[in-house]
Structure 1
């Protein structure tokens, strides 16, 4: 990349962080807002660059091999949710994610597709993070998936780094830290997903529920700061952190279809409008 182009992108990234400071609030990550403490990335390509530093931050190690996003979904149990009500393949996918491969399809709203293309071009492909597939053929060859367990000094899994790449190009689509966290005042934990970015991150708190057919529904609804939903955390040059609740809402429905195949419907909304639909089919390896 030419120095001029690199400087232009650095100015863009800095202005983006200033924007989130303008619409957000200062976050005390060692106190009141400790629930927003999560992995961040240093300058440059994100990809999997953040994993070792995240492991160091908890005094532990990063362990490659067969792992699950959540080793035991029962940690989410509470009023309105019981992991034992889930269909067996749904639970097995989350507890043994490395044993599954994924195919994906995408469909953008015509209104939001140009914005998706702009984000992918300016940020996604360059940073190797949050590269939402814009064209259906982008994911036509499938998605390669790897889970890396990030453990603390006692060996407990704090996060699972879920790395997803386009099989055709080996470029990162998503590089996220998956864990479980209870929000202040919540009656039970949520799935906590963090996508590290340079000097910050995007975080999503997903509230779990079950359907009568054993499906798992994970949703990040609208609501006030401090409740389930999407957040952007941005650090300033002086090290202070600022956080804002983003008007992005997601819902995942993980279910077993009539042929016994495990599938996921993923809907992303910007405010009240649907921006993107993704569909995944998951199959066991071997």
Structure 2
């Protein structure tokens, strides 16, 4: 039996041990679609970004202009019919995310709210990651949305694109994720978001489709390991890699063009029950 790395917070050790017991050992070289950066035990937030960039010999660009989560939406390999139907405003947002301002609201299912409070107290506040407000936000809050890129000094190409989001009024970091695309074993192209955690990460892989009104639908509702879905990854005390596919947890994002800009709805479900819902209003930043 393998064990998680011992010299860390007990709650981190227990969750990692759970992944080892319930998951599978993997060779990361055989799973390029799944692997991504791991968090460090002793750093959070932008401190992690600086240490990670130093360890990988990468240059940090905190002030990337007109940089997007996805360099080109054609990387999603949609059919010609799908791509022609996709909202031009949605394409612009993903390709030029740094040019946009976001407001959001949050609605919890009261039956799951206690789990959100526990996760926040045990993990999220400490590690500045997946730090979702535990109170409903009816009136929208503004998000500070920052695109940070890590650049290879030799090729000058972007190796990692980080979307760093915090609540403007409080500075509370909500998400710090590394975004891109990946190709599943099936050959299907998906959007991939990696959220570094101590000695591991949480990875969400979402399958794209286009709605009848040109909206982009990203869905993590896979059924088995190798599908789109939610995964935990970590290294054990001997340096071997482990992963667990969480079939019961699903994330669905619908983002489309409306008269007053771009609107998005993100729904997280557990055991097919709604846990919480985000609504976003997305508009171009003022140039003045």
How far does residue 166 in structure 1 lie from its aligned partner after superposition? 1.2
SS in 1 for 2:20: helix
> Which residue is 2:272 aligned to?
272
Tell me the alpha carbon deviations over residues 24-76 of structure 1, each in whole angstroms, 9 at most, x when there is no partner.
0012112x223222011111342133334554676643322221101110111
> Which residue is 2:189 aligned to?
189
Alignment TM-score, normalising by the size of structure 2: 0.89
Tell me the alpha carbon deviations over residues 231-267 of structure 1, each in whole angstroms, 9 at most, x when there is no partner.
001221221111000121111000112x232110000
> Which residue is 2:27 aligned to?
28
> Which residue is 1:74 aligned to?
74
User: Alpha carbons of 1:53 and 1:206: their partners in 2 closer, same or farther (altered >3 Å)?
Assistant: farther
Moved over 6 A (4+): none
How far does residue 272 in structure 1 lie from its aligned partner after superposition? 1.3
Q: Structure 1 unaligned runs (5+)? A: 1-6
Distance 1:168 1:145 in 2: 13
Distance 1:139 1:131 in 2: 19
Contact (CA 8 Å) 1:80, 1:209: kept in 2 or not?
no
Contact (CA 8 Å) 1:44, 1:127: kept in 2 or not?
no
Instruction: Show the 5 A alignment for 1:123-272.
Output: 123-137=123-137, 140-152=140-152, 153-186=154-187, 188-246=188-246, 247-257=248-258, 259-272=259-272
Q: Structure 2 unaligned runs (5+)? A: 1-5
Q: CA RMSD in A?
A: 2.3
Distance 1:9 1:112 in 2: 28
Moved more, 202-211 or 144-153: 144-153
Moved more, 16-25 or 76-85: 76-85
Distance 2:138 2:57 in 1: 38
How far does residue 138 in structure 1 lie from its aligned partner after superposition? 9.5
Distance 1:139 1:169 in 2: 15
